[in-house]
């Protein structure tokens, strides 16, 4: 494969200044280029018409604007757009545009695949390829922004990958989304399976971003079966890290909780979950399991079981939401579309199974 040119998307203004060299008008041109990249989501040099033609041609020889190429674009009946993208190879990853009545959100990936190996997740079942660069991360937002005339105001790092394993590039992306795109840090959400050292590292940065923990059971014996990470950082340890994150940032924490019939949806776990979150501002986001095609035979609980679990939390004063499920017919579950795409090449198809990454954003 031909070596790819560096991408301007993903560069800070300081990096753009270096890229322009010793031009006397570098400060003006950097401001213009940053505006095209991040405010207007321009994806080619010809649209940067306020730049001199000679500069545009010069940039074309050394750089590309946007690192991503769309492999697949699907739109669901309920208005969800899902893109499967890559940067010139077959290492595909996913991002999703989620329009709501009061806002537009998007869900983006931080890695190609995921190494965490959670038993219920399509991405984890498909294995891990690599971390995404800041350009590939922010590029997802910009590609989705070009699909809608409404401004995307909320971003959730809940697509493929564990964001805290790619913390350097994720933090740079957060800063670009805030500093250049103009999004509020309070509208940016990172989801993690519970990497304790990285939770503390993120908290020390003092960014008022929202942190969501994929807990899925308050019991170590259950969580150990579902999530290998729990063997290293058990429930008590990761919940303490989340409480400390709240103290460091002032942000309430979100607990993502997958309801699997007969495994995580039992009344005793509802009571224990209520005890765990007591004393810290929080919201529990319940996610009824969507897909039954797993090696473990996981099943979605009946509606009555979901209501019982939620009512127990409510009786204990726990603020509870339930995931808005959308985009089923376009393989909106995280990793599904990538699995289908790779399957077309005779590669790993196990990413067809899993849970939806689409969330109720606080």
User: Rounded distance, CA 97 to CA 148, Å?
Assistant: 9
Please give the full DSSP string across 299-352, using - where no structure is assigned: -PPPHHHHHHHHHHHHHTT--EEE-----GGGT-STTHHHHHHHHHTTS--GGG
Residue 125 in contact with residue 353, Cβ under 8 Å? yes
Residues with a known catalytic role: 94, 334
Q: How many residues does the chain have?
A: 362
Closest to 256 measured CA to CA, from 174, 192, 313, 185 = 192
Per-position b or e across 323-360, b if 16+ CB within 10 A of its CB: beebbbebbbbbbbbbbbbbeeeeeebbbbbbbbbbbe
Residue 93 in contact with residue 69, Cβ under 8 Å? no
User: Rounded distance, CA 311 to CA 305, Å?
Assistant: 10
Residue 84 in contact with residue 92, Cβ under 8 Å? yes
> How many C-beta neighbours within 10 Å does residue 116 have?
21
User: Rounded distance, CA 240 to CA 199, Å?
Assistant: 10
What is the chain's Cα-based Rg?
21
């Amino acid at each position: 494969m031909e070596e790819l040119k560096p991408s301007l998307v993903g560069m800070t203004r300081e990096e753009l200044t270096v890229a322009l060299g010793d031009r006397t008008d570098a400060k003006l041109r950097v401001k213009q280029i940053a505006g095209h990249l991040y405010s207007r989501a321009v994806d080619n040099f010809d649209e940067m018409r306020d730049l001199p033609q000679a500069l545009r041609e010069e940039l074309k020889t050394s750089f590309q604007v946007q690192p991503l190429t769309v492999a697949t674009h699907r739109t669901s009946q309920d208005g969800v757009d899902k893109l499967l993208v890559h940067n010139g190879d077959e290492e595909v990853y996913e991002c999703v545009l989620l329009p709501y009545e009061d806002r537009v959100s998007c869900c983006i990936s931080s890695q190609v695949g995921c190494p965490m190996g959670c038993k219920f997740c399509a991405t984890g079942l498909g294995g891990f390829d690599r971390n995404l660069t800041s350009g590939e991360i922010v590029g997802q937002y910009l590609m989705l922004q070009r699909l809608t005339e409404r401004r995307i105001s909320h971003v959730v790092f809940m697509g493929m990958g564990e964001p805290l394993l790619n913390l350097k590039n994720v933090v740079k992306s957060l800063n670009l989304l805030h500093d250049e795109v103009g999004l509020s840090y309070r509208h940016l959400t990172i989801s993690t399976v519970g990497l304790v050292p990285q939770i503390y590292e993120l908290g020390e940065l003092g960014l008022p971003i929202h942190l969501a923990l994929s807990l899925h059971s308050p019991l170590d014996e259950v969580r150990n079966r579902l999530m290998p990470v729990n063997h290293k950082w058990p429930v008590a340890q990761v919940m303490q890290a989340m409480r400390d994150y709240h103290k460091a940032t002032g942000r309430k924490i979100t607990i993502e909780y997958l309801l699997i019939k007969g495994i995580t949806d039992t009344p005793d776990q509802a009571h224990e979950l209520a005890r765990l979150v007591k004393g810290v501002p929080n919201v529990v986001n319940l996610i009824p399991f969507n897909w039954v095609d797993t090696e473990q035979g996981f099943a979605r609980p009946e509606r009555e079981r979901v209501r019982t679990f939620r009512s127990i939390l409510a009786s204990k004063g726990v603020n509870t939401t339930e995931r808005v499920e959308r985009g089923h017919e376009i393989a909106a579950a995280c990793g599904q579309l990538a699995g289908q795409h790779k399957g077309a090449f005779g590669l790993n198809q196990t990413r067809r199974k899993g849970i939806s990454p689409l969330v109720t954003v606080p």
